[in-house]
Amino acid sequence: MTYDQAWDIVYNTFSYTNHTVLPEALEKWSVGLIGKLLPRHLELIYLINHYFIERLRQRYPGDGYKISRMSLVEEGDDKKIRMAFLSIVCSHTVNGVAAIHSDLLKKTIFKEFDELYPNKI
């Protein structure tokens, strides 16, 4: 199966329900831990991020700061995977636990993703 075929299955299968509007409550998993326990999963996350970053570069040329903010990988001494961002990118729809919650997500912590993917949230 090609990457594109696999991606179509993933994208059309998953949706994501977010349960918090607090950015500090969003899960971030250590790249070191994922690499140790699930090395193939980490490879796939990096591949997904690669294609996502390419899309961001086309959409926002020269805006390295925005691309860094939206990357699935949080850079730093202890790199982390931004699990909510991964969930958004890999899902056909995203919602909060109530309509008002979904509206807050669009206006706050996922504003840039709502701009990138109109009508996904």
Mean pLDDT of the 14-43 span: 96
CA–CA dist 67, 8 (Å, integer)? 24
- What average pLDDT does range 16-44 have in this prediction? 95
DSSP annotation string for 64-93: HHHHHHH-SEE-SSS-EEEHHHHHHHT-SE
111 vs 96: CA distance, rounded Å: 13
Per-residue pLDDT of 45-92, as tens digits, reads 999 999 999 999 999 999 999 999 999 999 999 999 999 999 999 999
* DSSP three-state, residue 60: coil
Residue pointed to by tokens 């691309």: 67
